[in-house]
């Protein structure tokens, strides 16, 4: 395999890892693991299989047709149909950005031994979270 081909594959792998492993998914997985142990391992395996098949089919579709899935939706169903998933993706992206910023705030402000304050995510001001003050135990 040539170095340029290896670089193209490596960039795709890094992009896919960066797109699916964010703070929100890691925190959710850690909390679910703490609550349920290995009881939900089947859901992760099923989700991984479904995601891998979706990515593989999307890649085949793009290679054969020369269009992305979004282009095909817009071309086949029209712009009015395409606006709904586009707006939904925009809203979800903004919510994900808020979760990422909140996760960074929590990670920077709370020492590992301190209890987590859920009030910060319910809209209440909680001492120590994102205010610059040290949390109290």
In tens, the pLDDT along 48-99 reads: 888 888 888 888 888 888 888 888 888 888 888 888 888 998 999 899 888 8
Per the structure, the count of domains in the chain is 2
User: Please, what is the end-to-end C-alpha distance for the chain in angstroms?
Assistant: 55
> 81 and 36, same structural domain?
no
> 88 and 74, same structural domain?
yes
Which domain-ending residue is among 66, 83, 104?
A: 66
Residue 109, pLDDT > 50, answer yes
pLDDT tens for 65-76 read: 888 888 888 888
Note the pLDDT of residue 15.
Answer: 66
Expressed as residue numbers, the domain containing 50 is 1-66
- Compute the distance between CA of residue 110 and CA of residue 121 in angstroms, rounded to an integer: 14
> 57 and 15, same structural domain?
yes
Which domain-ending residue is among 14, 36, 66?
A: 66
> 59 and 78, same structural domain?
no
> 62 and 74, same structural domain?
no
Residue 114, pLDDT > 60, answer no
Cβ contacts of 81-89, under 8 Å, gap ≥ 24: none
């Amino acid at each position: 395999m040539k170095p340029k081909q290896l670089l193209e594959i490596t960039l795709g792998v890094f992009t896919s890892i960066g797109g699916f492993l964010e703070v929100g998914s890691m925190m959710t997985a850690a909390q679910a693991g703490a609550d349920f142990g290995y009881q939900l391992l089947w859901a992760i395996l099923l989700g991984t299989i479904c995601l891998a098949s979706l990515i593989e089919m999307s890649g085949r579709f793009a290679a054969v047709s020369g269009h992305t899935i979004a282009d095909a939706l817009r071309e086949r169903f029209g712009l009015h149909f395409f606006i709904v998933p586009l707006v939904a993706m925009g809203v979800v992206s903004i919510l994900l950005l808020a979760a990422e910023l909140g996760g960074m705030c929590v990670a920077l402000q709370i020492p590992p031994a301190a209890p987590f304050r859920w009030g910060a995510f319910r809209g209440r001001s909680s001492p120590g979270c994102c205010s610059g003050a040290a949390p109290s135990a």
